[in-house]
Structure 1
Amino acid sequence: MQNPDADTEWNDVLRSKGIIPQKEAEITEDDIVQILEQTVQEKQHGKAMEDMSLKELDRIEDDLDDEDERMFEQYRRQRIAEMQAFQLKAKYGDVGEISKADYVREVNEAGEGVWVILHIYKQGIPICSLINQYLTTLARKFPATKFLKSISSVCIPNYPDKNLPTIFVYFEGDLKKQWIGPLAFGGMNLKQNDLEWMLAQTGAIQSDVDEPVKPVIKDVMNIAIRQSNINDDSDDDDDD
């Protein structure tokens, strides 16, 4: 008796007449990838990965030959490991408020592999409020990064208002980048994408936003110091 699953012209005729059932479509590697990518998305939205993956895997495993099954199992383990690693890192998601007493524990001792973004601000300064608003959104977008904020007088006594806002970026307790004063952020013209791009350049977040047309990052502190030195020299010459 001829195999009804065989790809022959005669079987094609029989299928077209409804005499034998249509051959089930073979599951390809792309199908497997699509199923697992859907599992990742469901996991990121809070659905239990185990429930989703078991249903999908039970549906396809019976249709795989030995070679496909080995490939599938290897890919599944890899994707599950990636998802578990992401979930372990994605443990923040908001902007924590700290004081001077919390600084060492929350910043310097944040832990291995942890990026910390700390905003030093003061209530009543518009650009500080703007940055706090942006950071709240970015903290939700990048939950693997630790976002913090602290009122300047609470965190750093006698910290001058002219230095606000200030953002410090730490990795594993070491200071990697800092922006000090409104000019470093481009003033109130700062957009959320600008700030996201700035932070991404440090490695603290993984973002695909395009570079601003006019980059807001400026070494304004060094410029101010050099300008101050020039002014001091001019004053000395006048005294002579």
Structure 2
Amino acid sequence: MQDPNADTEWNDILRKKGILPPKEQGKDAEENDEQILPQQSIVKTYEDMTLEELEENEDNFNEEDERAIEMYRQQRLAQWQATQLKNKFGEVLEISGQDYVQEVTKAGKDLWVVLHLYKQGIPLCALINQHFTGLARKFQDVKFVKAISTTCIPNYPDRNLPSVFVYFDGDIRAQFIGPLVFGGMNLTKDELEWKLSESGAIKTELEENPRKQIEDQLMSKVRCSALGKEDSDSEDD
């Protein structure tokens, strides 16, 4: 009896007529398919490639691919540049009066600069410098700068400290001068963040002024205390 799996001309005729089933794939063929599949799975499309990989593989693309890839390359480049700009700073820069023009008023186009004039030995100045460190890390697209007051402005009065100035494109957009503006040593980082957001320098995720929440709580306590006193007076009468 003839082997139906044998590779003969007669069996090929019978397979074409449907009398014999199709020839089973041999083990070698299956192994070849298994080797091909992993190779196909590691092939990258240009959307998955980095800018460097696009450069390396540009000879393998046709003309239509190249047009699409060039548009994609420009998009990736713009995203990269935006990321670099956003993460440009992240620390508070200490400057002197000689650096003021270069680092503040000529710092760059479309750039927010927040300057703190301070003096050693003033507790509120030290607190704001501490808050500046946290805000600089959080808003890395904003340039946070600090300087000892008299190095930038000779004879700048201590009663005006701390002083915070907000600049955009070299022009002053807001100023906060003196301890009363900041609410004294109770100033929190969130309150300072809110103040700077009102000037436009930063885009805060805070939903409302933290100072207002504190004031509302204080007023609530005052009202409760007043009501309690009125009730006590009524009982005495």
Structure 2 matches for 1:7-18, cutoff 5 A?
none
The residue type paired with residue 189 of structure 1 is N
Contact map agreement 2:90 2:138 (CA 8 A) in 1 = yes
Contact map agreement 1:197 1:210 (CA 8 A) in 2 = no
Go from structure 1 to structure 2 and tell me whether the alpha carbon gap of 1:213 and 1:145 turns closer, same or farther (over 3 Å shift).
closer
Go from structure 1 to structure 2 and tell me whether the alpha carbon gap of 1:103 and 1:208 turns closer, same or farther (over 3 Å shift).
same
Structure 2 matches for 1:210-221, cutoff 5 A?
210-215=207-212
Q: Distance in 2 between matches of 1:113 and 1:148?
A: 17
Larger Rg: 2
Contact map agreement 1:139 1:147 (CA 8 A) in 2 = yes
Name the counterpart of 1:201.
Answer: 198
Q: How many residues align?
A: 180
Name the counterpart of 1:17.
Answer: none
Q: Distance in 2 between matches of 1:206 and 1:76?
A: 29
Identical columns (%): 56
Go from structure 1 to structure 2 and tell me whether the alpha carbon gap of 1:79 and 1:193 turns closer, same or farther (over 3 Å shift).
farther
Go from structure 1 to structure 2 and tell me whether the alpha carbon gap of 1:185 and 1:215 turns closer, same or farther (over 3 Å shift).
farther
Contact map agreement 1:118 1:149 (CA 8 A) in 2 = yes
From 175, 179, 183, the equivalent of 2:180 is: 183
After superposition, the C-alpha distances for 1:130-154 in whole angstroms (9 at most, x for unaligned) are 1000101111111211111011122
Question: Which stretch of the first structure deviates more once superposed, 161-170 or 199-208?
Answer: 199-208
1:192 equivalenced with 2:189 (yes/no)? yes
Go from structure 1 to structure 2 and tell me whether the alpha carbon gap of 1:120 and 1:54 turns closer, same or farther (over 3 Å shift).
same
Question: Displacement of 1:82 after TM fit?
Answer: 2.6
Contact map agreement 2:191 2:211 (CA 8 A) in 1 = no
1:99 equivalenced with 2:96 (yes/no)? yes
The residue type paired with residue 137 of structure 1 is G
Q: Distance in 2 between matches of 1:54 and 1:194?
A: 44
Question: Which stretch of the first structure deviates more once superposed, 115-124 or 207-216?
Answer: 207-216
Q: Distance in 2 between matches of 1:96 and 1:116?
A: 11
Q: Tell me the C-alpha RMSD between the 2 structures.
A: 3.9
1:163 equivalenced with 2:173 (yes/no)? no
| SS across alignment from 2:147 | strand
Question: Displacement of 1:187 after TM fit?
Answer: 1.0
After superposition, the C-alpha distances for 1:182-204 in whole angstroms (9 at most, x for unaligned) are 11111111110111111122221
Name the counterpart of 2:82.
Answer: 85
Go from structure 1 to structure 2 and tell me whether the alpha carbon gap of 1:101 and 1:54 turns closer, same or farther (over 3 Å shift).
closer
| SS across alignment from 1:136 | helix
Q: Distance in 2 between matches of 1:192 and 1:179?
A: 15
Q: Is there any run of 5+ residues in structure 1 with no aligned partner, and where?
A: 1-31, 36-51, 56-69, 217-240
Question: Which stretch of the first structure deviates more once superposed, 199-208 or 146-155?
Answer: 199-208
Name the counterpart of 1:118.
Answer: 115
Name the counterpart of 1:63.
Answer: none
Q: Distance in 1 between matches of 2:144 and 2:210?
A: 26
Q: Distance in 2 between matches of 1:215 and 1:111?
A: 35
Question: Displacement of 1:73 after TM fit?
Answer: 9.5
After superposition, the C-alpha distances for 1:79-115 in whole angstroms (9 at most, x for unaligned) are 6523421213422211111111111111111111111
TM-score, normalised relative to structure 2: 0.58
Q: Is there any run of 5+ residues in structure 2 with no aligned partner, and where?
A: 1-46, 54-66, 214-237
Go from structure 1 to structure 2 and tell me whether the alpha carbon gap of 1:167 and 1:53 turns closer, same or farther (over 3 Å shift).
same
Go from structure 1 to structure 2 and tell me whether the alpha carbon gap of 1:214 and 1:137 turns closer, same or farther (over 3 Å shift).
closer
Question: Displacement of 1:76 after TM fit?
Answer: 8.2
Question: Displacement of 1:71 after TM fit?
Answer: 10
Contact map agreement 2:88 2:140 (CA 8 A) in 1 = yes
